Amino acid sequence: MTTSAEHEAVADRSDAAAAVRTYLDHLAVERGLAANTLASYRRDLRRYVLFLESRGLASLAGVAAGDVSAFLRALREGDEEHPPLGGNSAGRAVVAVRGLHRFALREGLAPADPAAEVSPPRPMRRLPKAVPLEDIEALLEAAGSEGDPRALRDRALLELLYGTGARISEAVGLDVDDVTGPAPPGAEDGGVVRFRGKGGKERVVPVGRFARESVQAYLVRGRPALAASGRGAPALFLNARGGRLTRQGAWAVLRAAAERAGLRDVSPHTLRHSFATHLIDGGADVRVVQELLGHASVSTTQVYTLVTVDRLREVYAAGHPRARR
């Protein structure tokens, strides 16, 4: 019976192993891959060569798409020497194999690229994290609203992030002229903000009363004091020196408010997720939410409907007399 060590010795002398060594040299010298990345590629491709040798394939020239697919299945199933790999780890190995075969075809080491037909497993889609409305309210209250100009700015920033679903880069990129003035007397709604999103794409989003009033209070009683230290920056949100508030500065604002509110794992993207989830929970159409978030495809937004389905299951399980097991 052939031992694992004997398998490796044979594999190290095979044409496939030689192709792997050439490919790794290419990645190190011409592509400049980091040492850790190279180590991962080397480990994954060594396992691939051993797998091919176990199927009687000593050269990449004889590999078919079915062999690459079988390797992917072997990664997911595991064996006596290897535990099953999750989707991300298996996907990383398949990416290495695809790169190897692409290289072999280009360098004339193989007549075809069998791995081109095999896609890595799709990574498991993580549902967005939304926080309950009461936690959002606690966070906003912790930002402060009176007295210090920076407290007024912080409250306005967080109200705008949650009230519009803005990305943090969009919020700190706003100029004063991007926000309309207060609603006319007696009007229930009014006011919009113009965001510049990914790829320079602009979108206009309505601003609710709470965010609008917080921004207005900051513009009247907070921003002038901060602007006095600067050189007339047009930015809506200013730092203590009168310049535009940075992404890092906005992150610090959120972290400080979350700590005061006793909340953990809250990020600007958490507020964006909460904005979308709460809208859909309230009955908003997914395509409307798509426009508000600035998603190019509705499929990106539809992940929020999965969050709502989980919420529906909770309500059903708690309230229906025949739902309990």
Is residue 264 classed exposed, middle or buried when 0-12, 13-18 and 19+ CB atoms within 10 A define those classes?
Answer: exposed
Annotated active-site residue 198? The verdict is yes
Give the CA distances from residue 109 to residues 25, 170, 179, 311, in Å, rounded to whole numbers and listed in that order: 15, 49, 60, 54
Q: Name the CA radius of gyration of the chain, rounded.
A: 28
Annotated active-site residue 269? The verdict is yes
Extract long-range pairs of 127-130: CB within 8 Å, 24+ residues apart: 127/303, 127/306, 127/307, 127/310, 128/273, 128/276, 128/277, 128/303, 128/304, 128/307, 129/265, 129/270, 129/273, 130/270, 130/273, 130/274, 130/276, 130/277, 130/278, 130/307
Catalytic residue among 47, 101, 212, 295: 295
Catalytic residue among 201, 269, 287, 313: 269
The angle that helices 65-77 and 87-106 make with each other, rounded to 10 degrees, is 160
Catalytic residue among 47, 150, 167, 244: 167
Give the CA distances from residue 159 to residues 56, 181, 211, 243, 275, in Å, rounded to whole numbers and listed in that order: 64, 16, 5, 21, 11
Residue count of the chain, please give it: 325
Contact criterion met (CB below 8 Å) for 240 and 249: no
d(CA 276, CA 166): 10
Annotated active-site residue 167? The verdict is yes
Record the tokens describing residue 98, joined without a space. 């695809």
Contact criterion met (CB below 8 Å) for 252 and 157: no
Place of tokens 């906003």: 140
CA angle 198, 200, 201 (to 5 degrees): 80
Catalytic residue among 98, 244, 272, 278: 272
Catalytic residue among 198, 201, 221, 287: 198
DSSP conformation letters of 32-56: ---HHHHHHHHHHHHHHHHHHHHTT
Catalytic residues: 167, 198, 269, 272, 295, 304
